[in-house]
Amino acid sequence: MKALRSRIYLLVLSLAGIVCQPDVFAQDSQILTGIDVLEAEHFSPLVGKNVGLITNQTGIDRHWNSTIDVLYQAKGVHLVALFSPEHGIRGTADTRVASSVDSLTRLPIYSLYGETRRPTEQMLKGVDVLVFDVQDIGTRFYTYIGTMKNCMEEAAKHDIKFVVLDRPNPINGVQVEGPVLDSSRLYELGGVFPLPIRHGMTIGELANMFNREGKIGVNLEVVKMKGWKRSLWFDQTGLPWVPPSPRMKNLYEATLYPGFGLLERTNVEHKKGVERPFEELGAPWVDGVQLAEELNRRHIQGVYFVSIRFTPPSDQYAGQLCEGVAVDVTDRNIFRPVACGIEVLQALYKLYPAKFNVDRILHLTRSEELIEQIKKQVPLDDIVKSWQRRLAEFKMLRDRYLLYE
């Protein structure tokens, strides 16, 4: 069954146009993720328990076996229900997802991105332990950590233990960047805790922070990784990359996402209508050469821009010729995606103030101040300085919850 599900996952991802690296196997890595450690410890927190598993296609062990199958076949573990976050159990859906049944185990798959965004009492009936095994990408508004927090809260209400199988922060666990979300402006899934845009934490570290600082009070156990260091980027771990969502095809896109994800809901094409999501952006009203020259004139660290033309096959400008820029990160260690994203927003507003709807970034930033700074072309250094007090406070809080060096 394990090998069959692995083949099915790879086939589905291939048909979706998502490239994996199935020839790079994690058993060559010196790093053990949470599921690998759980296996090595003979599933001790789960033996004799009825288990609900929150996961998707990123939940795999070092032999590329699905966490679903690993737990389903584990001796003494009773896997009774599956729960899927945004994009569904296979990570290929781009809309609301309906609940369904797993074709191999015949277990129910309860969608947490459909009629409800948190498990209901009926879904949790008969569950003793909830296990979370999903790969995050290190950005506050990526919804998986919001799903985790929702599930922790429901587990606490129903006296259910919560186990997090930890995984790496793929864009490293050192760099922290961006404005901290105000506690009065929290919102569902993408803004469930006062985090900066790039938080530099693993899901296990975040779970501990949410539980204590958010006063959730769930019976929480984090199964730590072995061998992971904070300074590592995902491609330095030896682990295979499985795209966490349809438009997060590779680590390069995850590196850009904390900044270029801010374009979500604006009238600039950057995700569905481009060949390389978050690496390219544009619109019919953009002059690509002009925009590239403006951005390169700003001397943004670790990045260069080139002009492009493209015709989106879908989304808001389907079939229309667009111009814009492609992003070339020349040094990811000095590149600061949030700062870069703000430079891009400022350049778009400066060049096309009557066309670019910058106000729509409020959906993710929840900061009218940042929008005004962009409109007034406040120098980037001054914008970054305006974050620093709250960012320093967050870093002090964060230090209490770090599990790795």
User: The domain spanning residue 53 has which CATH number?
Assistant: 3.40.50.12170
Is residue 393 a part of any domain in this protein? no
pTM of the model: 0.93
Number of domains in the chain: 2
Q: Which domain holds residue 260?
A: 251-366
Are 176 and 223 contained in the same domain?
Answer: yes
Are 279 and 309 contained in the same domain?
Answer: yes
Assess contact for 166 and 134: CB atoms under 8 A.
no
Are 176 and 56 contained in the same domain?
Answer: yes
Are 269 and 210 contained in the same domain?
Answer: no
Are 205 and 255 contained in the same domain?
Answer: no
Is residue 384 a part of any domain in this protein? no
Are 78 and 205 contained in the same domain?
Answer: yes
Each of the 405 residues of the chain gets a pLDDT tens digit; together they read: 555 555 455 545 544 444 444 444 455 678 999 999 999 999 999 999 999 999 999 999 999 999 999 999 999 999 999 999 998 898 887 778 888 999 899 999 999 999 999 999 999 999 999 999 999 999 999 999 999 999 999 999 999 999 999 999 999 999 999 999 999 999 999 999 999 999 999 999 999 999 999 999 999 999 999 999 999 999 999 999 999 998 899 999 999 999 999 999 999 999 888 889 999 999 999 999 999 999 999 999 999 999 999 999 988 999 999 999 999 999 999 999 999 999 999 999 999 999 999 999 999 999 999 999 999 999 999 999 999 999 999 999 999 999 999
Are 175 and 62 contained in the same domain?
Answer: yes
Are 305 and 231 contained in the same domain?
Answer: no
Looking only at the bridges linking them, the beta strands covering 100-101 and 108-111 are antiparallel
* Residue-by-residue DSSP string for 233-248: -GGGTTPPP--SSTT-
Is residue 95 a part of any domain in this protein? yes
Phi, then psi, of 98 in degrees rounded to 5 = -85, 155
Are 232 and 286 contained in the same domain?
Answer: no
